[in-house]
Amino acid sequence: MTPGSVVLLHAPGAAAASWGDMPEMLRSYGMDVIAPDVPDGAGARYVARVSLIVSAAGPAVPLVLAAHGAAGPLVPAIALAQRAAHRPVGGYVFVDADLPRPPGPHDHDTPAAPPDWPEAPCGYLRTHADRAAFPGRDETVRAARLRGWSVIEHEPPTAAAQALSELIATL
């Protein structure tokens, strides 16, 4: 797919700078990139702040929401807010991220995915750095494959931004 804008969602408690040079590299590939900086938000507060920042940026649609780490479970709520604002989401990418949970009795800090989610294609990018830091993430990658999602396991020297760009193109 060709996204209108790619929204890079850092993990709650981190900052947009945690993406490193990813935003600039994606821009060099011709992508419109929004990297909201919400260093002090979690749960519903994170979702609301991201939504305000995306709205202020005036993104082109369809959006691709790319989540890192603990931002993954928040993606369905962020997508719902974007759709409510008439900004369709054309795809989702999880970059070394936790996956959204199905509906059920969960804690109130991280909303469960609504039953109709995902309404757009999903992909998973596992980077070389994640393999070294989180060997237990194999189950997450396996779960993404079982859901029928495109999965790319990034290997250097290819830039992670290039792998992300290629994954977005497959959605």
Element (H, E) at 13: none
- Tell the residue number behind the tokens 């060997």, with chain if given: 135
Between the two ends of the chain, the Cα-to-Cα distance in Å is 5
Distances (CA, A) of 5 to 27, 57, 113, 131, 156: 10, 10, 23, 28, 26
Q: Is the pLDDT of residue 108 over 60?
A: no
Of all residues in the chain, the percent with pLDDT exceeding 70 is 90
Q: Which of 148, 139, 143, 138 is nearest to 170 (CA)?
A: 148
What's the chain's average pLDDT? Answer: 89
List of domains in the chain: 5-170 (3.40.50.1820)
Does the predicted TM-score (pTM) go above 0.85? yes
- DSSP string covering 33-89: EE----TT--HHHHHHHHHHHHHHH---SSEEEEEEETTGGGHHHHHHHHHHTT--E
What backbone torsions phi and psi does residue 25 show, to the nearest 5 degrees? -65, -45
Looking from the CA of 85 toward its CB, the CA atoms found within 13 Å total: 22
Burial of 4 (0-12, 13-18, 19+ CB in 10 A): middle
The reported pLDDT for the residue numbered 11 is: 95
Element (H, E) at 131: helix 128-133
**Between 130 and 39, where is the model more confident?**
39
Average pLDDT over residues 105-113: 59
CA-to-CA distance for 71 and 78, rounded, in angstroms? 10
